[in-house]
Amino acid sequence: MNNLLNLLINSQTNFINFIRFSIFIVMVWIGGLKAYQYEADGIVPFVTNSPLMSFFYENTNKTAINEEGKTVKEYMLHKNPEGKMVAENIEWHKSNNTYTFSYGLGSVIVIIGLLTLLGIWFPRIGLWGGLLTFGMSIVTLTFLISTPEVYVPNLGGDMPTPQFGFPFLSGAGRLVLKDIIMMAAGLIIASDCAKKIKTTGNTVYN
C-alpha cells in the first residue's frame, strides 16, 4: 500500500499533464466536429435558448405552429436527426447563421485546447488555457437552466410518464452536466500554471 501511495504522490505532475492532454483531446475533437453539418445542427437548441449566445442566430425569436397546433420556436420544426440530411432544414440553418457560428465556435474551442496543452512547456500560455476552459464550462452549464431539451420531456404513451422534467436529465442534459468536470480541470490547470509562474519568478505580464 505504501508503494502505491508513494507512486500516486510522485506522479502528481504527470497526472496534471494527463488532464492537459485530456482537455486537449476533448476540445480539438469536439471543436473540429463543429465544422460538420450534423454537429452544427445539434447545438442549435442550446444556442437558441441561451441568453448569453442566442444573438448569434438570425431566427432566434421566430416562432411557428407545429403539427399539434402549438406555437413553438421555429428551430423545433427544422431539427435534423444525426446522420440524416434534409435539404429544407439545411437551408433554414443557413439562413439562421447556424453553420457560420459553428465554424467560429469550433475554432475557439480548438484554440483553448491548444493553449491548455502548451501549458506543459509554457505556463503563462497554459494559465489562459485553464481559465478559458473554466469559463467555457460555466457557459455550457448554464444550458441546464436555459435549454428545455436537457430534461426528459413528457411525451405521453400507453401509460403516464413517471419521470420527466427536472431533475431527470436527457441524453443532452447528461452530456452538459459532465462539463462540471471540465470546470474543475480548468481550475487545476490554471492553479498549476500559476504556481510555476510564481516559482520561476515570472509574472503573467512579462
| 112-155 confidence digits (pLDDT tens) | 999 999 999 999 999 999 999 999 999 999 999 999 999 999 88
Q: Which of the pair, 68 or 117, is modelled with greater confidence?
A: 117
C-alpha torsion sign, points 102, 108, 112, 117: positive
C-alpha to C-alpha distance for 33 and 195, rounded to whole angstroms: 34
C-alpha to C-alpha distance for 66 and 88, rounded to whole angstroms: 16
As a whole number of Å, the end-to-end CA separation of the chain is: 44
C-alpha to C-alpha distance for 143 and 180, rounded to whole angstroms: 12
Average pLDDT, the chain: 93
Q: Which of the pair, 38 or 200, is modelled with greater confidence?
A: 38
Confidence of residue 75 (pLDDT cuts 50, 70, 90): very high
CB-based contact 64:88 (threshold 8 Å): no
C-alpha torsion sign, points 20, 22, 23, 28: positive
3-state DSSP of 72-136: EEHHHHCCCCCCCCCHHHHHHHHHHCHHHHHHHHHHHHHHHHHHHHHCCCCHHHHHHHHHHHHHH
Q: Would you say residue 205 has pLDDT above 80?
A: no
